Amino acid sequence: MRVVSGIQPTGKPHLGNYLGAIRNYVAFQDQAEASGGQSLYFLADLHAISVAHDPAALAANTREMVATLVACGLDPARSILFNQAQVPQHTELQWLLSGSARMGWLNRMTQWKDKAGKNREGASVALFTYPVLQAADVLLYQATHVPVGDDQKQHLELARDIAQKFNNDFASEAAPVFTLPDPIIPPQAARIMSLRDGAAKMSKSDPSDMSRINLTDDADTIMTKIKKAKTDPEPLPSEAKGLEGRAEAANLVGIYAVLAGTTEAQVLRRFGGQGFGAFKPALGELLIEKLAPINDRFNLLRQDVTALDTILREGAARARTLAVPTLEAAYAALGLVRG
């Protein structure tokens, strides 16, 4: 079992990142270890330069993100934690895969369409080729399992398509160069929505901080954001089908259920018939209870920049060792002479 996943160190990590992805990174850290495999989690700092960014903020966010991952339960002694910029094999493999990726495949990526918007001519080349780097990120390590939220499913399907085409064109069926990775999408919380708009996903790039719960928010901020979350005037239904067409209510009930380790039906059995005046404080309290320990650990860890840099440097050295054989196999398969 080889588990690989990445997170962009842009902005602050939020509840969507935690419930949709980071929580599962921690679960897969255990599973990989139990199976005698290895988990690797990285900060996708090279992906972050595909849109306008502030270099000083990127460096600060990179360290904050590694502190967050450790605060959430990733252990650098058990998982390999690193940032892409210290493992040049990612960008090397991206170029080698660029010969197999098709323009049409990239043109269909919804994230490219969303982020480029109407201004495709003005978008960076990196934003367009971003999914090829993402494919390299996982194929480089022969990933078998890639825990991600729902919004990354399409990118992982593309990674499989690229791997399959490369294997078909340049390797034999008996000795493929790349393993086809499986995206692992959680059954609950795969898409946490904005607190201001039940039709938009919770996102680091939303200009309104009220739209998300950051993992670094303190208790008062969490409660304020939940109390101000957009809802409708109806009381909560007693059954899950009553949430249909009520995106904001469904989102809050979903968050409660996953944090409490239960189902939406159970939550509604308890809160059905009650208004948000009763439900929101209960949700706020639950969030505070679950996030406070993470917050405390984060506040300690973030202060020791040297320790954070050591985690990344040592993780990168281990990642490079694992990356080299696959990269060399890709060069060889393509007929590129290396000394």
Of 42 and 170, CB closest to ligand TYM: 42
Measured distance CA(64)–CA(52) in Å, rounded: 19
| Strand partners for 14 | 214
- The tokens describing 313, both together, are 């440097």
Residue 201 falls in the annotated catalytic set:
yes
Kindly name the residue from 153, 204, 230, 290 that is annotated as catalytic.
Answer: 204
Choice among 115, 153, 230, 290 that is catalytic: 115
* DSSP 8-class letter at 175: B
Closer CB to ligand TYM, residue 151 or residue 217?
151
Minimal distance, residue 201 CB to ligand TYM, in Å: 4
Q: Which is nearer to ligand TYM, 161 or 238 (CB)?
A: 161
**204 labelled catalytic:** yes
Residue nearest to ligand TYM (CB): 20
User: Is 58 in contact with 10 (CB distance < 8 Å)?
Assistant: yes
β-strand partners of 39:
3, 79
Active-site annotation holder among 113, 153, 165, 201: 201
- Asked if residues 90 and 133 have their Cβ atoms less than 8 Å apart, the reply is yes
Asked if residues 13 and 74 have their Cβ atoms less than 8 Å apart, the reply is no
Smallest distance, ligand TYM to C-beta of residue 245, A: 20
Nearer to ligand TYM, 37 or 272 (CB): 37
The nearest distance, CB 326 to ligand TYM, in angstroms, is: 15
Q: Where on the chain is the footprint of ligand TYM (CB under 6 A)?
A: 5-8, 16-17, 20-21, 44, 47, 134, 137-138, 146, 148-149, 151-152, 190-192, 201-202
Minimum CB separation of residue 53 from ligand TYM in Å reads 13
Query: Which tokens belong to 303?
Result: 């202060």
- CA 334 to chain centroid, in Å, comes to 31
d(CA 225, CA 283): 11
For residue 152, how far is the Cα from the chain centroid? 8
Is residue 115 part of the annotated active site? The answer reads yes
Closer CB to ligand TYM, 105 or 272, in the complex: 105
Catalytic annotation, residues = 115, 201, 204
